[in-house]
Chains A and B, each alone.
Chain A
């Protein structure tokens, strides 16, 4: 391992240098606790092993939220993105989401630089094979460090496991299998077994990636090009000038011939031959899955995305597959524009061990072992953004707990970060979890454009942002508030009646455009806007969305508010579910395992019925009133168990 003078004791040890690990390590170090990032290969820190893009529906919101709290991802993609587009442009602001193509190598270099430049953060190349756990009768089990493959060990009272798909990773291409965390990287074999021994449940999940093509072998003339947006807004609230030089992506389609090749070779697919046991994501199906499941669809869209400005590799978005190499070649060559294409890398499926995520609390700390945090794909999620989000929250909470401060737990009504982690704490994973806007009950409020307003208070308390950065957020929120006020007071001509009406009222109409109001009315209104052009646009976007959604948000809140009190009713972590005979059998079993923190969470657990909630709501109140030593609630009539 490290040289003799290497410091072996840190406050926080982060295992894994992917998108979760980076954010966790940076957050902890920036909050002033000594932090060590352990990775198998320093050169792989910040790598994007699958698609070369960041953002998209639900995910862009996460990236903005990460940024508002002081995470790194948004700034990194702003600096290294090579195409920026808004998805769902023609739909409403709550579901409009920017997405960026990244220059993979540049992104990776940018992230490694951030990690290396960070005071208080060290990086160590080593393989972690186990945890060091201490037991005390009073406090139970607590993590005290990690064990390394070379026999050494490291001490740290907080450990964040962010190992991605590396736990017992197994790569499949056709019938060929090899151990690996991803192409070209070894898997982590020991840690899985150690977690199992410590009493964690693990399950197999599967994900996949498409082949990469050699850029110069593609007939670009035959393909439709897709350009980025002319004036994109940056992801980061802290980016003040933004004029990325953008590249093109291209679109093509699979053909009947492609589908025939796939069908003819299904028996050679590890997925269909039953070799893969892990459950894959339904929303990100392999091409063989799509062909089988949508057999009447004549063609499927394929996006050709450059992996970087200079890169010779082209990512084939839409053709994720684990079919054998020769089938992949035949498949690609049956597609318009790709007739002569050469494959640089083959697509593959990866199976890995993940930890069903209900084993963590909403701080991402393990329910079983104190001081141990999990983040990213190890908790069964998919996506760089989801991973980074958890990494940030785990890093923040590990540092806060070292400083004896209360943890950062965001509500479902505040942030996608809150939705994500609450879902993780209450859901049985049946497939890799990715964010969707429909997972957020408060979708109309949880928007990309208003992340600063939603999270400013938390950002101020946590203190990850520097004072000048916080000031930027404050100014943006304040400018939006001022503009809003002025719009209520200002009036515009109402074409339909010939009279005057409040400007805000006009903006609320379907055809009402705030930018037009600002252009057509006196300059008084625009006075409240920031000088910076990006910030001006951002403020206008937020205020327009706020006004347009206002009534709907209120109505939706009114309908869901009835459930809100359930979130405040806490359930003791040691609630005797097993002995509560009034609960249904299934609920008893589920609750005993998952141990939700609140009644609201209990209600989101699959298999817990409304009658179970009724029982819990009474008993929890009673336990709460009785305090500790109130006896076994609800068990008094349970002699029949």
Chain B
């Protein structure tokens, strides 16, 4: 089991962490949870006007200060660190089920860091990743399923992924696995009956053909679920889009134009982009991860070599490859062979013309449908639509809505099951595995499947769930 889940420290201590992602938004929240939360509030918070006792779920405006005698060198004792809204959430009516306080400040990241430091000076321990959720779970505020869904939500790149996490929570995948298990269970019951009551029911043996048929149907079902893995990955991690093309084909300009911001240094000198630059693009609730690759060409300058290797990596993982053609140039010296670059067979390749604003009539690639200009914005809409189509956006949404997306753990388990089914089919077909062997392996297999449907407890799951959290959740 991963160390992330071994419980450090006793649960008598109080933990604190920044609850909002660093560097984003105007409000930074410091969350403190544990038996000493209210003491810490008293130590670091000066309400305006002063107030007697904290009331659960009622926010108070005030200042955060260093607790008495703990101001580090360079800080005035008693000097305000930030103006905050302090929100006490008393046990059990908090996320963790413990006494919790939330300090919401407007002073930005640095001020929030100081607020956290003040809480730690007052006796809180900096929380580990997922520790708040773990406490919530241990205090019965969250079930394990919910904890896993929370983990997925935390990681959700976009709205669709968040919806999937919720659908998952409602049991989409669980239902699929149960449907997969049902005929195997029925087979197991008949095998056991045949084995245990042979004397009473002499004719009860299960025919090999029937065993094989049931196993094959299950394997097909596992394959169907496994086929959802790439779709699942697209929803969870975004559709991987690579911009490829010869140097100075306008990859970075198009990249910036799609994102609507200057993320990549653009230079007219070929080979400016020395590494892969990636940024998420949101389209209709889906995430597309755009990768701008180094200019790909045969004779790369040495300094660029690293960037080109990395480019090949992202190309290998790509769902969509945009092959850019400079429409302003006459003829096309070197055809870009994406297959030679190691693109997967599943990848959709779209040809995209660039610099259509300065295109020459005699330019090559007149057959290209998507003709764009980063400068004027021409053709970008068509490109976006082409991206949605290439990513099979409809299917992504359907699968997501059904809540049957697989994560790494699910995929691993299913692949295990598939392998077991395959070797069992082979053994039964060859006449090797008798009823009792099939029954024993089937029972073990169902046990393994149960780890996905949640019927069977697995500690690995526990470790995986909580190790996926970031600090503050």
B-binding residues in A (CB < 8 A): 57-58, 87-88, 91-92, 94-95, 283, 301, 436-438, 441, 443-444, 509-511, 549, 552, 555-556, 559-560, 562-563, 565-566, 581-583, 603, 610-611, 613-615, 617-619, 621-622, 625-626, 630-631, 633-634, 636-640
- Are A637's CB and B97's CB within 8 A? yes
A565 to B458, CA, bound (A): 10
Report if B75 contacts A (CB, 8 A). no
B35 at interface by CB-CB < 8 Å: yes
CB neighbours of B134 from chain A (8 A): 618
Which of B35, B135, B196, B443 is the one whose CB lies under 8 Å from A436?
A: B196
Residues of A within 8 A of B432 (CB): 509-510
Contact assessment for A559 and B445 in the assembled complex, using a CB-CB cutoff below 8 Å: yes
Residues of A within 8 A of B138 (CB): 582, 615, 618-619, 634, 637
Please determine whether B195 and A438 come into contact, CB atoms closer than 8 angstroms: yes
A interface footprint on B127-147 (CB within 8 Å = 1, 0 otherwise):
000000011011111011100
Check A637/B430 contact, CB under 8 A, given A92-B437, A443-B436, A555-B420.
Answer: no
B435:A441 contact, CB within 8 angstroms:
no
Among all A-B residue pairs, the 5 with the closest Cβ atoms? A637-B139, A610-B457, A559-B444, A613-B457, A637-B97
Interface of chain B residues 267 through 323 with chain A (CB within 8 A): none
Q: Chain B residues near A443: list those with CB within 8 A.
A: 436, 439-440
B98 touches A618 (CB 8 A): no
B194 to chain A, nearest CB (A): 8
Contact between A552 and B441 (Cβ–Cβ < 8 Å)?
yes
Render B436-463 as a binary contact track against A, CB cut-off 8 A, 1 for contact.
Answer: 1101110111011001001111111110
The residues of A that contact B137 with a CB separation of less than 8 Å are 582, 614-615
Residues in A with CB closer than 8 Å to B196 are 57-58, 283, 436-438
Shortest CB distance A169–B (Å): 28
Residues of B within 8 A of A560 (CB): 444, 447
CA A633 – CA B134 in complex, angstroms? 14
Q: Are B462 and A510 in contact (CB under 8 A)?
A: no
Distance in Å from the Cβ of B22 to the closest Cβ of chain A? 28
Is B98 a contact partner of A637 (Cβ separation < 8 A)? yes
User: In the bound complex, do residue B440 and residue A631 qualify as a contact, i.e. CB atoms below 8 Å apart?
Assistant: no
- Taking a contact as CB atoms closer than 8 A, the residue among A88, A549, A555 that contacts B423 in the complex is A555
**Which chain B positions have C-beta within 8 A of A638?**
92, 139-140
Residue from B436, B437, B448, B460 within 8 A of A437 (CB atoms):
B436
- B contact residues around A95 at 8 Å (CB): 195, 435-436
The reply to whether the CB of B199 lies closer than 8 angstroms to some CB of chain A is yes
Known contacts A555-B420, A618-B138, A636 near B441 by CB under 8 Å: no
Contact of A91 among B197, B435, B458 (CB under 8 A): B435
- A88–B194 Cα distance when bound, in Å, is 9
Alpha-carbon gap, A91 to B196, bound state (A):
11
Fill in one digit per residue for B396-440: 1 if any A CB lies within 8 Å of its CB, else 0.
Answer: 000000000000000000001000100100010011111111011
Residues of A within 8 A of B436 (CB): 91-92, 94-95, 437, 443-444
In Å, the complex CA distance between A622 and B10 comes to 8
Q: How far is the CA of A298 from the CA of B359 in the complex (A)?
A: 89
Residues of B within 8 A of A441 (CB): 440, 443-444
CB of B10 within 8 A of CB of A626, answer yes
From B12, B420, B427, B431, contact of A636 by CB (8 A)? B12
Q: Which of B62-109 contact A (CB under 8 A)?
A: 91-92, 96-98
Which B106-158 residues sit within 8 Å CB-CB of chain A? Answer: 134-135, 137-141, 143-145
> How many interface residues does chain B have, given as a range?
35 or more
Are A636 and B457 in contact, with the CB atoms below 8 A?
Answer: no
Smallest CB gap from A436: residue in B: B196
Which chain A residues border B427 with CB–CB below 8 Å? 552
Task: Tally inter-chain residue pairs, CB-CB below 8 A.
Answer: 157
CA distance A587 to B436 in the complex (A): 33
The answer to whether B440 touches A552 (Cβ under 8 A) is: yes
Question: Which chain B residues border A617 with CB–CB below 8 Å?
Answer: 457, 459, 462
| CB of B179, distance to nearest CB on chain A (Å) | 19
Query: How many whole Å from A393's CB to the nearest CB in chain B?
Result: 24
* Chain B residues in 8 Å Cβ range of A511: 431
Q: Which among B12, B98, B430, B435 is the interface contact of A92 at CB below 8 angstroms? A: B435
Contact (Cβ within 8 A) B139 A581: yes
- Residues in chain A near residue B5, CB distance under 8 A: 618
* Interchain nearest-CB distance for A584 vs B (Å): 9
Query: A631 near B12 (CB under 8 angstroms)?
Result: yes
Q: Can you name 7 A-B pairs with beta carbons within 8 Å?
A: A57-B195, A437-B196, A559-B447, A611-B144, A637-B96, A637-B140, A638-B140
Give 16 A-B pairs besides A94-B440, A622-B10 with Cβ atoms closer than 8 angstroms.
Answer: A58-B196, A91-B434, A441-B443, A510-B432, A559-B447, A560-B447, A563-B458, A610-B455, A610-B458, A614-B137, A614-B457, A615-B138, A634-B11, A634-B139, A637-B135, A637-B140
Question: In the complex the two chains form, is A559's CB within 8 Å of B139's CB?
Answer: no
Question: Which residues of chain B come closer than 8 Å to A639, judged between CB atoms?
Answer: 91-92
Q: Which residues of B contact A637 (CB under 8 A)?
A: 91-92, 96-98, 135, 138-141
How long is the Cα–Cα vector from A555 to B423 in the complex, in angstroms?
Answer: 10
**Minimum distance in angstroms from A19 CB to a CB of chain B:** 22
Please, how many angstroms separate the alpha-carbon atoms of A444 and B433 in the complex? Answer: 11
Q: Is B198 located at the chain interface by the 8 A CB criterion?
A: yes
- B139 and A510 within 8 A (CB): no
In the assembled complex, the CB of B138 is this many whole angstroms from the nearest CB of chain A, namely: 5
Chain B 371-395 near chain A by CB (<8 Å), digits 1 or 0: 0000000000000000000000000
The smallest beta-carbon distance between B433 and chain A, in angstroms, is 7
| Docked pose: A583 CA to B195 CA in angstroms | 38
* A640: B residues at CB distance < 8 A: 91-92, 97
Instruction: Give the Cβ gap from B448 to chain A, nearest Cβ, in Å.
Output: 5
Residues of B within 8 A of A611 (CB): 143-145, 457
B459: chain A residues at CB < 8 Å are 565-566, 614, 617
From B140, B197, B460, B461, give the contact of A582 (CB < 8 A). Answer: B140
Instruction: Report chain A residues within 8 Å CB of B366.
Output: none
Cβ of B451 to closest chain A Cβ, rounded Å: 8
Give the CA-CA distance A618 to B466 in the complex, in Å: 12
| B441 and A559 within 8 A (CB) | yes
The 8 Å CB contact of B454, one of A87, A88, A437, A610, is A610
